Structure 1
Amino acid sequence: MQFKGRTVLVFVLLGMLASAVLTVMIVDSRAGLFASTHASSPNAENSNLTSKDLGKLSSAYKLIEEQFYTKVDHDKLVDGAINGMLGSLEDPYSVYMDAQEAKKFEEAISSSFQGIGAEVTLEEGKVIVVAPIKGSPAEKAGVHANDVILSVNGEKLDGMTLNQAVMKIRGAKGTQAKLEVVRAGVNTPIPFTIVRDDIDVETVEAAMLDQGIGKIEIHQFSSNTAKRFLDELAKLEKKGLKGLIIDVRNNPGGLVTSVTEILNPFVPKDKALLQVESRDGSVETTHSKGPGKSYPVTVLINKGSASASEILAGALQENVGAKLVGETTFGKGTVQMTFGKELGDGSNMKMTVFKWLTPNGNWIHKKGIAPDFAVEQPSYFKAAPLSKKEALKADTTGDDVKNLQLMLSGLGYTLDRTDGYFSSKTEAIVKQFQQENGLPVTGKVDSPTASKIEKKLIETARKPENDLQLKAAKDELAKLLK
């Protein structure tokens, strides 16, 4: 199955395949946009381990190898030592990948994968969904941004590194990932059974709307994204483009070179695209090489817009005057580099090496970028999926009933209450829905009825006319075009 218009790192994010997830990065530590500032360190002469340090490490290794109650694996000990050093940095974006993980990391930039289709991060020991992938099994099942994943197939994720958790979540096409999820506003954990599938890399999706307004959706800043974006932009301009919407909602980031190549045509020559601050406080500015555009631009953002998406939004807002529409972004203001050649055995280390700042010098880390026009989506966009543990029926109460009523309201039905009590009116609406959709008319919400309601709600949410943020962006452009 191909999910065109959305790239996924199959829930293998920020750890194994972290380059494009909540990360703006440069793939090679010796070649890239900011390699010159990284080439030397003010403390390089004092960076080597002393003989005392090496002796301590050697002694620890020898004690474990000789005294631990079972035989130990040499490679696991060495990898564990590197993981321990990176873990001491308390930076979720600095991670170690063994040879197998590093290979998948390289493939992630331009290949296809099998999984459920969502991005995750690790915050305070919790595995948190950044965003489900558009059209993916995760989105169809009802996974939401900011969901906390407690367990996978019955195994708790507490205490795991992100790499370890990701290994539990991902898997082969056709296999099931049974997740238990906590969601804000829902009192009990939500169970999901998601069938993994093929997910192909396609990072750009474009369309000409009305009034000469075009829309380009960027799902991730991968190695081929800039070319795809510029090709689609050229097609829209040939069709008479008068104003452009760039949609980076639920875009978790990616390669810094990709986002700067996309920004170049929009930002006038020699104006700043972003600034990068090194550990010694020195700042390097990346300037635009492009001519700028004559037509107005708006940018769609939400809490799933992170890192490279925020670079794009910040540059267009501060140096082009583009208006940002939607919700405050995630807030990821650091840059990572990968170090594979240095390790020499096929493994890889991704480490935070810079802060990035907007053209005006703002560091948005853990704060995000606020929209010029704050727009919330309809409430039913946030409905939790129904647990399906048992049929919902008249006179029952609880979160499941409340979410059922929210879904039915989103589908256009008029209910007498939405407080979680299954009233006679709710029962009548359920019967109406069942009759309209070829289901047994019982008034009870069993698993088939619940699944049909959820499917219809996803279809409703995907209709452009129900996307209030997109509508607001179009309205803003329409005003500018008058």
Structure 2
Amino acid sequence: MKKVSGWFVAAGAVVALLVGGALGYFAPHPQSQAQVPAEFQKVLDTYNAIDSSYYKKVSEKKLAQGAISGMVDSLDDPYSVYLQNNDASSLNTQISGSFGGIGATMRQSSDGVYVDTTNAGSAAQKAGIKAGDKIVSVDGKSMAKKDINAVVSQVRGKIGTKVQVGISRGGKQQTFTMTRAKVTVPSMSGTIDKAHKQIGIITFTTFTDSSAKEMKQVVKKLRKQGAKKFVLDLRGNPGGVLDQAMKIDSMFLKNGKTIVQVKQRGQNAEVYKAGKKYDDGFKIKEPTVVLIDGNSASASEITAAALNQSAGIPLIGTKSFGKGTVQTIAGMNNKSELKLTIAKWLTPNGTWINHKGIQPTIKADYPKYAYLQAIGADSLNAGATGKDVKTLQSMLTAVGQKTAVSGTYDDATTAAVKAFQSAHQLSATGKADANTIVAIEAALTAKIAQNDNAMKAAVKKLQ
């Protein structure tokens, strides 16, 4: 499942931010020495004291970075961040929706990181990497105890550079050398509902620089497949690029209807309205509903509010995250950037939803078991106690092997594990080994998909 919080959210979630758009990128304003506030003389005095008297030599660059980080931290704003090196590169990757990589998607399991799929024609596919391969090393560095984010960051890199990926397959290890190429990650996907062929479901993961273009392509494809109604699934979508959200929102609104209001310090709110400027005349007039949850933030909330307040489109799900600020980026140099909050955004009717979120028109949620966290242990045995055991017991109960959720791996838990193993063609040992944990998590994911109450409510509303 990609749309549920907890372990079942896809790894590597995009940072919630709004950049670009009408506000654009900005550059810090240089000031002469005479303009520097008197309070900053203390900063210079501290630097001079450290530089002249500290017992060992300290890097000027390190001191400068520390001062910048300290200033940004003092804002007490989680969305204003000084980014350096890999963090800055990662942010740019998230905005553009593309990066240098080998063209393979990965999944986290209890015993490591595995290849999930390889893209057609990708470096990974050409080299011979296959789905199910376990990543054991990257450029000679062991990945045995690394999580999926750490592995992905090692595999990605500058386009045209080489990377060595070691894998384990069938008990044997192999190493593949590949050249990183440009990989583009779609920000959305579209499918036809299996039971209701006239309903197209558009699932957003984020808003990148190409989202508006993708939206047009997805809608056209779904229309050709027979879609006459749409579900926009914004659950788990943390936001993204402002101008792309406005372009997509404009597609659903009559020209002249308000998309969003943006208020910068000391200024009146600027109102952005739907029109050809944003949507190039491409309109979506089919009946539509929008799905939101507690992880729908930023640009997702702008979209939800715009479609609801300016087009009367119903919102289904749970209260959204509540991020009502706008960020943009200043390039400090080629390896660091300042992501800074520069404005509030308001819904079409002038509401600031920061820390409050948006309430759905129709409340509907996943079952409680959808929010279980992952089992952290590689395996669990009879006699074990603790949080992981309690999670295992909750998962077993959810997939039909009922047992008390006590946190103790007792005889009843052993029996439930054996029953699950027998039903899924696994060796019925009663021990929750790595393969058993993976199978239980997969069974739970499937059950969550079957009991997506918000999606059911959306389909019912459209019918």
TM-score (norm 1): 0.71
Q: Match of 2:241?
A: 255
Aligned to 1:21: 15
Q: Counterpart of 1:369?
A: 358
Letter in 1 for 2:314: K
- Corresponding position of 1:407: 395
Q: Compared with structure 1, are the counterparts of its residues 385 and 40 closer, same or farther at alpha carbon in structure 2 (3 Å cutoff)?
A: closer
1:431 counterpart residue number: 418
Residues 1:57 and 1:384: Cα distance change in structure 2 (over 3 Å): closer
Q: Which runs of 5+ in 2 are unaligned?
A: 3-8, 112-136, 157-182
How do residues 232-381 of structure 1 correspond to structure 2 at under 5 angstroms?
232-289=218-275, 293-340=284-331, 343=332, 347-381=336-370
* 1:149 alignment partner in structure 2: none
Cα 1:241–1:441 change in 2 (3 A) is closer
**Does the residue aligned with 1:322 lie in a helix, a strand or coil?**
coil
Counting only pairs closer than 5 Å after superposition, residues 82-97 of structure 1 correspond to structure 2 as 82-97=68-83
8 A contact 2:188–2:204 mirrored in 1: yes
CA contact (8 A) 1:221 1:308 kept: yes
The answer to whether the 8 A contact 1:10-1:114 is kept is no
Letter in 1 for 2:215: F
Q: Percent identity?
A: 33
Distance 2:362 2:370 in 1: 19
- CA–CA distance in 2 between the matches of 1:223 and 1:476? 32
Shift of 1:264: 1.1
Q: Which residue of 1 aligns with 2:213?
A: 227
Q: Distance in 2 between matches of 1:294 and 1:389?
A: 50
Task: Classify 1:460/1:70 alpha carbon distance in 2 versus 1 (closer, same or farther; 3 Å).
Answer: farther
Q: Tell me, what secondary structure is at the counterpart of 1:305?
A: coil
Work out whether residues 262 and 343 of structure 2, in 8 Å CA contact, stay in contact via their aligned partners in 1.
yes
Partner of 1:157: none
Counterpart of 1:452 (choices 432, 436, 439) is: 439
1:34–1:206 Cα change, 3 Å? same
Alignment of 1:89-108 (within 5 A): 89-98=75-84, 101-108=87-94
Contact kept in structure 2, 1:327 and 1:374, CA below 8 Å:
yes
Amino acid at match of 2:398: G
Any conservation in 1 of the 2:206–2:239 contact (CA below 8 Å)? yes
Do 1:303 and 1:330's aligned partners in 2 also have CA atoms closer than 8 Å? Answer: yes
- In 2, the alpha carbon distance for the partners of 1:345 and 1:40 equals 15
1:165-180, aligned counterparts within 5 Å? 176=143, 178=145
Q: Give the match's secondary structure for 2:272.
A: strand
1:381 counterpart SS class: helix
Is the contact between residue 197 and residue 226 of structure 2 (CA under 8 Å) also seen in structure 1? no
1:339 is displaced (CA, Å) by 1.5
Give unpaired runs (5+ residues) of structure 1: 14-19, 27-31, 118-134, 143-170, 180-191
1:16 match? none
1:13-64 Cα distance to aligned partner (Å, 9 max, x none) = 7xxxxxx5211122xxxxx41359x9999xx999973474564433221111
Report if aligned partners of 1:375, 1:472 keep a CA contact under 8 Å in 2: yes
Could you say what secondary structure the match of 1:220 adopts?
Answer: coil
What is the Cα deviation at residue 227 of structure 1? 0.5
The answer on whether the counterparts of 2:106 and 2:148 sit within 8 Å (CA) in structure 1 is: no
CA–CA distance in structure 1, aligned partners of residues 69 and 424 of structure 2: 53
2 CA distance for matches of 1:202 and 1:175? 30
Q: Could you say which residue in structure 2 is the equivalent of 1:203?
A: 187
CA drift of 1:82 comes to 1.6
Instruction: Give CA deviations for 1:337-387 in whole Å, capped at 9, x if unaligned.
Output: 2122xx456532111110001101111111111111222212221223334
Query: Is residue 2:203 matched to residue 1:217?
Result: yes
Distance in 1 between residues matched to 2:291 and 2:34, nearest whole Å: 47
Matched residue, 2:459: 474
CA distance in 2, matches of 1:400, 1:99: 36
Distance 2:86 2:411 in 1: 57
| Cα contact 1:328–1:371 (8 A) shared by 2 | yes
Counterpart Cα distance in 1 of 2:291 and 2:110: 24
Instruction: Report the counterpart of residue 148 of structure 1 in structure 2.
Output: none
Q: What does the per-residue CA deviation read over 1:149-191, in whole Å, with 9 as the maximum and x for residues that have no partner?
A: xxxxxxxxxxxxxxxxxxxxxx969854858xxxxxxxxxxxx
The one-letter code of the counterpart of 1:454 is E
Residue aligned with 2:98, SS: coil
Partner-residue secondary structure (3-state), 2:19: strand
Distance 1:47 1:207 in 2: 59
Does the C-alpha gap of structure 1 residues 239 and 100 become closer, same or farther in structure 2, counting only changes over 3 Å?
Answer: closer
1:254 positional shift? 0.6
SS at match of 1:25: coil
Q: Which amino acid aligns with 1:367?
A: K
Letter matched to residue 455 of structure 2: L
Q: Give the conservation status (yes or no) of the 8 Å contact 2:198–2:229.
A: yes
Q: Decide whether the 8 Å contact of 1:397 with 1:421 is kept in 2.
A: yes
CA distance in 2, matches of 1:257, 1:369: 21
Distance change in 2, residues 1:400/1:67 (3 Å): same
Matched letter for residue 60 of structure 1: T
Return the offset for 1:286. Answer: 0.4
